[in-house]
Amino acid sequence: MKPIAFYLPQFHPVAENNQWWGEGFTEWTNVTKAKPLYRGHNQPRFPADLGYYDLRLPEVRERQAEMAKKYGVYGFCYYHYWFGNGKQLLERPVNEVLHMGKPDLPFSLCWANQSWTGIWFGAKDKTLMKQEYPGMEDYKAHFNYLRKAFEDPRYIQIEGKPLFIIYDVKDLPDPKQTADILKELAVQAGFKGMHLLAGNISKDDWNPEQYNFDGKISNAFNKSIISEQERSRKNNVLKKLVRNSHWELDFLKSKHRLNLLDHREVVKGMDYGNFDYYNYPIVVPNWDNTPRSESRGLILENSTPELFAKQIQKAKEYLSRRTREEDIYFIKSWNEWAEGNYLEPDTVTGYAYLEKIKETN
């Protein structure tokens, strides 16, 4: 049972981010400016060992891969941004991985097909980069780009077919048509086909097989978050924040309500279900996206390496009911630092989360 960790390529400057957020902007910009929003809030987070890296440096990517292999992460699933008409963003790290043939670590791609907006920065109605679907010629151009990755010997395959994930299937104008086109192009290019998965934001009632998808990533985490939010709504979040009058005043001035949930309860409520279609488990080590969204954010309290190990065990028990000799589960994420959602070592927990993967393999 092989764990694949989602990987964010945001840690290098690009012209568009410089224009939108200021010169030199990367994911680290939000991480380093984070502030604690209540007494005991673990912010800002500080990376250990790898430091505030720049993904334009091949030695950084090599070190990440070495770390992943040492602790039992089978491979990375790189987020891939294709906005239509050939427009990409943050493509440099993956392009260099392909061009250089390094690092020697299995990988796949997840098409993060969503428009970029200013939602996490207080400007939810502002569209920075629109996701578009111009038609057949763009699908062909997109596949020609993907083909270079699919042909790489490191690319992850399921039953001999390259694994490809589309994050938001409901954003597609016609999910089945998209699947049909991509799979046909794969066959024409000499592949056995394409193992196509829907992302974890698609709900349980979205049956992938009806749209020629081979499965979906489980919605269990998202579903449990919503359930826990509803359950805890009666508990006034101010009770957790009012540690003294200073914090109370600051919070009452806020226009938004900080969303604090108990990660233990979220994990308890995670049910991967029993479906006719192929459902792939996803586990989440930690979460605190206040570096991006401040008091509009979500914080999962009581996240621990032990709780992470419990999730992994839950995912493996689910997978053990299936007949496939080899199977995979997903980890969100390897390095989403501004979401407080990462496996890479920090100065508080060190390698503890990675150690749990090694122990459970």
Residue 252 pLDDT: 45
pLDDT top residue among 55 and 292: 55
Dump pLDDT digits (tens) for 201-217: 999 999 999 999 999 99
- Rounded CA-CA distance 303/349 in Å is 11
What is the chain's percent helix, strand, coil content, to nearest 5?
Answer: 40, 20, 40
| Tens of pLDDT, residues 115-137 | 998 755 556 678 999 999 999 99
Q: Tell how far CA 104 is from the center of its chain.
A: 21
What residue ranges define each of the domains in the chain, with the CATH number in brackets? 2-360 (3.20.20.80)
Q: Is the pLDDT of residue 93 over 60?
A: yes
Name 95's Cβ contacts closer than 8 Å, sequence gap at least 6. Answer: none
Q: Residue range 71-91: average pLDDT?
A: 98
335 vs 53: CA distance, rounded Å: 11
Q: What is the pTM of this model?
A: 0.93
pLDDT for the residue 189: 98
Q: What is the pLDDT of residue 294?
A: 87
User: Above 60 in pLDDT, residue 242?
Assistant: no
| Nearest CA-CA partner of 289 in 221, 339, 334 | 339
Per-residue model confidence (pLDDT) at position 4: 98
Q: Is the pLDDT of residue 49 over 70?
A: yes
Q: For residue range 324-345, list pLDDT tens digits in order.
A: 877 999 999 999 999 999 999 9
